[in-house]
Structure 1
């Protein structure tokens, strides 16, 4: 006979009462959660019955609250599924508690408990909407089986006066409620009395309360039970592996809170750090060239100040003050003037770089705390990427955000204050964690190169989960990853890389790992689609894994030599990344024109230099010692946070998964409303992120197709973000991001309510000036294939470029046998110059309104479609291009002001009817003769709304 107990390690021991508590809490959450969600979202609908609604009936029945509508039905089903585990355990424990030799009743009651649990699943997941008959069968079976279960539990109750008392009271209430319940049901169903169903509903909910409470009483009986899991073969014992050691320690709540606070500090640092480039970009954007405000990037080199011994000592001894000062950037959203907001964030980032450099340096003699600080900063980067993934590519605490455009600035600041208070108040760790230096150090210069390459790589490629996806995107049909859901893959690679780097630092810092990372960078730079993305994932994994290695090496040197010079290298690489695309607007730009490949090589070589230095610095024999128990426990908290962020990213990917079921606004008329808009990198005239304002205007104009220009924001200077994510998801449109950052354009994107069957990206001839991007897409418009081309021509300063581009595009459009719409930025006067190449026999294109002589940049051309309307709508303060009205206050000694003249670019909109052919002699019609469904919205007449009104013509134009 097998022994009753086996020796072995106790892995888990849980008091039996927690089974009852778990059952009670999850069951209550299921019913109350569905009720609260239903009352909040669908109150009038769920109180409505076949005879009456609100105000006669004002409380829903159980079935109406839990089974009729989404999302309350899903809330109930999720929590009731979780309840099933504790429920089966409760029935099992009750049988164990009451079973007696040669007694049948405990078996009958247990069987009834199982049957009752299964029937509950039946009426839960087969709603009355799904199958009314089966739903009633399961529900009635459940209610009928409740009687023997309740009476059986009363008969078998242990000798516990409290539990017996509560069971009798609750059973009496349950069965006593059935009488008035039936009465009011008859009043409602037969006599049709107003309000009777509300009273019935209250009694029905009371039955649920009494039923759940009756089973909750078992907590009093199960207190004497302990559920124990024993390891009789030693499989749960650690074998000396890093993973086993990491998660083998005890859990200390205060230390876990410290870890969360540390990570949040890292999140705040990376949020502010990545916002600086976006704010700087605002100024050269309006100046169309070097503005002088670019010098703000030098604020990141603040660790150079640590070369002064007094300042170094002051910084390392006053880390709390430094971290608090860095939080001023979170309040920058309160500063309305763009110049002062930039100065505020520059100061914040400078202090933040100083604080984190001093933090890492100050922990150099304590490996546990140093690793914790490095992990916190790295996980903070992942957290910022997850936040942008959740908020559709904008960080909610950026200074370009505020309440009106979706910012969470106040909450972010309050949490940051608490986090700094907590994370800068740690007790000193055990001295056994101290590892002395071996005396061998690699080159501080090479260490600085490594840090510069690392920070640039992390910022350029990993500060947004969709950046590398935009690098490999190449149009429809989709042959690679898309921002949602595959952004979660980037986040997973980042987390896995950091996990690997913390557990296996020697391997992460090896030349083998460097070779794999370099290969990944080459593949990302060279290839598109999935293969290119796999290279990007390899690069993401490597960058995160090598971060602890390089920072651990850097702290062995003077912080000014390593971190200060490292940020100078970072600044050089950032400027290089700007020059590759902005070559037409910066001095010496032609030397870096389109040399992203060279930029990638410089980044990889810089990291390689850091690896060379770290191989010497981190080679101390003491480093090979296993980390102390205190360190393994600390590590487990950070890895747990890392896992939580991974799960959050998966949840976000699921919630944001595209539906691809989009419907045009006027399907019945086969109407297509198309627009062209230069959205100015989604940064409005006041330095706020403008995606929501752009979204609202596109929605109110009922645009089915819209071409957006100046949209490539997947660069450090533009925040590594993607405005098309918000627009496509919230407007319900398919999207082609257009040529990615590695194509060196300012961007051209296409949004469409119609499925995009195929799309091709073009880089038009640009031997002198900026590259001209074009997206040529074929759309399924009401069953007919129609081409749409979104195009951004080169600048006025390069006439040969624009001539070559006009010839290329005219040929491209002329070769299309399908109806075609051109949504474009042409930089030409109507009826003159290159206009006559675009509108020509070669292209076959017509101007939507040749009489509109006020254009210079934005044009809508078409062929083989019937135009029905045309309008120009002012863009308020959302966007602007070319020359901005900008007053620049020079130093007082100069005492002058420069005024830039403004050429407004408007949103241009055209309406076309698919399947009908335009006639050359179509006369302009009055709006009263046009069917209402074909008209432009009336809200933009006169003063319009929010600064948007019909402009130039003051009203739309129509043709019949």
Structure 2
């Protein structure tokens, strides 16, 4: 007979806590049954990884345990299938428990819970062997969804102190475990430390315990629910206060406490996303124009005249005329629409036309955003929203570049064949402008409360100019500051992937902090911390320098709302117009420190990035001084935040959170595998080449990474040296051309002396592990700095040195003589086999050539009979040379590729003889693809065929 429960009859009743117990038991059984069976049957196999096995590694990871081996995989899958039923019920009961009138958050959390459950099934039943990509997609989606699930459950927790306490503990343990988990994964994957994967495995299993344990706490909440389903305490009818309700009551009137918990409207979050996308387009234009400008001095080898296009950003100076300012503030939508011509510039083949169109778009978008800021000067919530859109748009552009290996897919140097998303980007931009831009609330007149105070507009202009330069020079790509602190192998600091996501996180955190705590962000204490961060970034390498970079990024984003709010209280022509002029000055200063040999007055600031950083921070300090006065008398400073303003803030933060989660997913997907293999290991062949890549911008002003990737892959290069490869400056787009090529073809990368070392750059890409590398700046008393990388590679178990070197220019013979002596001594001091991949600026058998190829260096020329060289040379010692070829570059650069083949482990013959190709084993030959007319303009030239030696 069915039991009677209070008001009526029931067939059966199950207390809700048993759903939690069932979920917890089945989930733990899935993992630990697989662990027990795996250890019992396949212990040595499941502790083996790509680098080490037992006894170095003695505990299996989760993925190795539940992966592809039978029968442990079956145990896991069966119990996970059993877990799914209680899991769906758990999500349902949590929604019933937390649903309240006029609140969408419980629905969102429930949706996330269902999504996590489905994706768990995805990575469980689609193993990495079945489909590696889909397995990773499901796994990443599950992990990413864990954050909103955890935070949502914490926000909605019923007012049960014990349950809330345990949830906070479990959440803290879960997210705290991610730090050592990532650390030991990098130790294993990058540094190949024995035993690191075992330590990683312990933290990975801890994540399982904490993840399931977090949901197990619902036992304490579900005691008041019964399945028939009857709510015996009335807690599912929104009558009891939740923890969030209690906190909101206590925090009433405080900005952070009032941000969440209001109604959720999809139309408003679409508006916020559209606003952010408009900000993304702004930063796309700002960063895209200098790349176009760079093309012209690059090919003119000096000032071309096109550099004046950089000054198009000073268009807000026109707002000194009241009528122009009025028209701009009343036609913001039109201005934004007109600025979108930058996104169709890619349709024009002529580089000059693309430059002119993008320059016009930059002047328009700068005017539009400044007019938008100024129009909302009397409406604090709307001004704040525009600033957030501007800042989060910057972060969106950084995430886009992070996803596309440092190229912005909407730049005018991109198109569909080289990775551009131009058409999609334009369509979204049109929708965003039409959706988000509204008529301004003022005419742009000089509105100011009578009680308000004004600081100095000139100091405010200096602050904005310094701020804008700091952002564009260092924060428009997640890898720029990492390249500043990189100093060669072994890895002793951050790497572009995954640590670019950390940079992005600190940028977002800084922006949110500046919005919620402008008083602190605009204080002299914060300025001091930011200045210390700038000093650490400038003066130190490795982790110390990177910690400074993170402090700098956090501060710059935090102080942005403060300085912009200060600027709008003055004439926009003075603050923003003059500020952009100051930005142009700093940009030129920024170029002059490295281009000193090609520009007027260059030697005055030669190699003085430290001066530049000091000036930038002093300018920002001037803005902070002005803001301290301008913002001190704001009448709205202590006013409670309205519900509409709270809700608007929350939408922008939702968009920011989505971008942060996306950056973490990108970091996971792009994490280097570090398991690269040479092309012909059976022959112990090393194919090494040198290429002066001219910064990865081809002769027609298109990004050339994909074309470079194609030819390098087809040449089967195991080691390649790039010269003129450092693009981590504003004028070059703050990008790294090695990331896409290395990620796609599978290379270890050393990108040479960083941008704060003032060279045009060198890089080494290797299929072989880079055991150690040292960066050198060779003597250059007059001309441009000569960079070199001296690396030791593990080639088939033998240590072989490779040197990548770029000599100084032809006009400075004394520099080149000193550099020749330095490098020759460096090569002569190496007891190991050595290959030089270089740009020497000398004729064969003449002058400095006879010092490079000499008893001092011990080096030999790969082909002394090749009379047609001037710049590129391949030299070697103590290694068996077997082949040499020259390959034309088509329109990618102005310099060919020179390639040599070497054999590791064979003694160097006393007398080498030229032999025909048919006598060369197949694995030692150059690809036949480049014979005759070749492919896509790449062919063997000068000799029209490779040369071989016995």
TM-score computed with the length of structure 2 as normaliser: 0.76
Give, in whole Å, the separation in 1 of the partners of 2:84 and 2:703: 44
- Structure 2 match to 1:408: 421
- Structure 1 match to 2:61: none
- Structure 1 match to 2:801: 787
Show CA shifts across 1:4-38 (max 9, x none): 99xxxxxxxxxx9xx9xxx9xxxxxxxxxxxxxxx
- Which residues of 2 match residues 72-471 of structure 1 at below 5 A? 86-89=87-90, 227=236, 230-231=240-241, 235-238=246-249, 239-240=251-252, 241-425=254-438, 436=449, 438-471=451-484
Are the aligned partners of 2:248 and 2:258 in contact in 1 as well (CA < 8 Å)? no
- Which residues of 2 match residues 367-766 of structure 1 at below 5 A? 367-425=380-438, 436=449, 438-622=451-635, 623-766=637-780
Show CA shifts across 1:516-546 (max 9, x none): 0001000000000000000000000000000
Give, in whole Å, the separation in 2 of the partners of 1:679 and 1:648: 32
Distance 1:256 1:860, change over 3 A: same
Does structure 1 residue 853 correspond to structure 2 residue 867?
A: yes
Does structure 1 residue 935 correspond to structure 2 residue 949?
A: no
Show CA shifts across 1:188-229 (max 9, x none): xxxxxxxxxxxxxxxxxxxxxxxxxxxxxxxx9989999557
1:489 Cα deviation after fit: 0.7
Distance 1:495 1:94, change over 3 A: closer
Distance 1:129 1:716, change over 3 A: closer
1:125 Cα deviation after fit: 6.1
Are the aligned partners of 2:746 and 2:767 in contact in 1 as well (CA < 8 Å)? yes
1:251 Cα deviation after fit: 1.4
1:249 Cα deviation after fit: 2.0
Distance 1:937 1:505, change over 3 A: same
1:87 Cα deviation after fit: 2.8
1:81 Cα deviation after fit: 10
- Structure 2 match to 1:825: 839
Show CA shifts across 1:853-906 (max 9, x none): 0000000000000111000000000011xxxxxxxxxxxxxxxxxxxxxxxx21
Give, in whole Å, the separation in 2 of the partners of 1:428 and 1:757: 62
Greater gyration radius: 1
1:629 Cα deviation after fit: 1.9
Distance 1:869 1:125, change over 3 A: same
1:624 Cα deviation after fit: 2.6
Distance 1:128 1:417, change over 3 A: closer
- Structure 2 match to 1:181: none
Show CA shifts across 1:135-192 (max 9, x none): xxxxxxxxxxxxxxxxxxxxxxxxxxxxxxxxxxxxxxxxxxxxxxxxxxxxxxxxxx
Are the aligned partners of 1:681 and 1:712 in contact in 2 as well (CA < 8 Å)? yes
Give, in whole Å, the separation in 1 of the partners of 2:128 and 2:542: 46
Per the alignment, in what secondary structure is the counterpart of residue 244 of structure 1?
A: coil
Are the aligned partners of 1:366 and 1:435 in contact in 2 as well (CA < 8 Å)? no
- Which residues of 2 match residues 892-903 of structure 1 at below 5 A? none
Alignment counterpart, residue 883 of structure 2, candidates 865, 869, 885: 869
Give, in whole Å, the separation in 1 of the partners of 2:504 and 2:348: 33
Does structure 1 residue 768 correspond to structure 2 residue 782?
A: yes
Give, in whole Å, the separation in 2 of the partners of 1:81 and 1:384: 43
After TM superposition, the runs of 4+ consecutive aligned structure 1 residues lying more than 4 A away are 66-69, 76-86, 90-96, 120-130, 220-229, 426-429
- Structure 2 match to 1:916: 906
Are the aligned partners of 1:77 and 1:125 in contact in 2 as well (CA < 8 Å)? no
Alignment counterpart, residue 828 of structure 2, candidates 814, 817, 821: 814
1:631 Cα deviation after fit: 1.2
Give, in whole Å, the separation in 1 of the partners of 2:570 and 2:811: 50
Per the alignment, in what secondary structure is the counterpart of residue 763 of structure 2?
A: strand
Per the alignment, in what secondary structure is the counterpart of residue 674 of structure 1?
A: strand
1:272 Cα deviation after fit: 1.0
Give, in whole Å, the separation in 1 of the partners of 2:587 and 2:882: 48
Per the alignment, in what secondary structure is the counterpart of residue 624 of structure 1?
A: coil
1:811 Cα deviation after fit: 0.1
Give, in whole Å, the separation in 1 of the partners of 2:923 and 2:572: 67
Give, in whole Å, the separation in 2 of the partners of 1:437 and 1:936: 79
Are the aligned partners of 2:759 and 2:787 in contact in 1 as well (CA < 8 Å)? yes
Give, in whole Å, the separation in 2 of the partners of 1:447 and 1:122: 54
Distance 1:655 1:710, change over 3 A: same
Give, in whole Å, the separation in 2 of the partners of 1:390 and 1:600: 28
Are the aligned partners of 1:823 and 1:861 in contact in 2 as well (CA < 8 Å)? yes
Give, in whole Å, the separation in 2 of the partners of 1:78 and 1:465: 42
Show CA shifts across 1:39-95 (max 9, x none): xxxxxxxxxxxxxxxxxxxxxxxxxxx9989xxx9xx99997995564343898999
1:121 Cα deviation after fit: 8.1
RMSD (CA atoms): 3.1
Give, in whole Å, the separation in 1 of the partners of 2:761 and 2:236: 61
- Structure 1 match to 2:30: none
Are the aligned partners of 1:77 and 1:124 in contact in 2 as well (CA < 8 Å)? no
- Structure 2 match to 1:48: none
Per the alignment, in what secondary structure is the counterpart of residue 257 of structure 2?
A: helix
TM-score computed with the length of structure 1 as normaliser: 0.76
1:918 Cα deviation after fit: 2.5
1:256 Cα deviation after fit: 1.2
1:558 Cα deviation after fit: 0.7
Give, in whole Å, the separation in 1 of the partners of 2:419 and 2:456: 46
Distance 1:618 1:759, change over 3 A: same
1:242 Cα deviation after fit: 2.1
1:424 Cα deviation after fit: 1.0
Per the alignment, in what secondary structure is the counterpart of residue 237 of structure 1?
A: helix
Show CA shifts across 1:645-674 (max 9, x none): 111111100111111000000001100000
Per the alignment, in what secondary structure is the counterpart of residue 256 of structure 2?
A: helix
Point out where structure 1 has 5 or more consecutive residues left out of the alignment.
6-15, 24-65, 97-116, 131-219, 881-904
Show CA shifts across 1:774-818 (max 9, x none): 000000000000000000000000000000000000000000000
Are the aligned partners of 1:594 and 1:744 in contact in 2 as well (CA < 8 Å)? yes
Distance 1:309 1:473, change over 3 A: same
- Structure 2 match to 1:27: none
Show CA shifts across 1:450-484 (max 9, x none): 00000000101100000000000000000000000
1:438 Cα deviation after fit: 3.0
- Structure 1 match to 2:210: none
Alignment length, in residue pairs?
Answer: 758
Show CA shifts across 1:252-279 (max 9, x none): 2222111111000000000111011111
Per the alignment, in what secondary structure is the counterpart of residue 505 of structure 2?
A: helix
Give, in whole Å, the separation in 1 of the partners of 2:336 and 2:719: 47
Distance 1:340 1:80, change over 3 A: farther
Point out where structure 2 has 5 or more consecutive residues left out of the alignment.
8-15, 24-65, 98-116, 131-226
Are the aligned partners of 1:437 and 1:620 in contact in 2 as well (CA < 8 Å)? no
Give, in whole Å, the separation in 2 of the partners of 1:619 and 1:778: 58
Distance 1:90 1:425, change over 3 A: closer
Per the alignment, in what secondary structure is the counterpart of residue 823 of structure 1?
A: strand
Distance 1:477 1:93, change over 3 A: closer
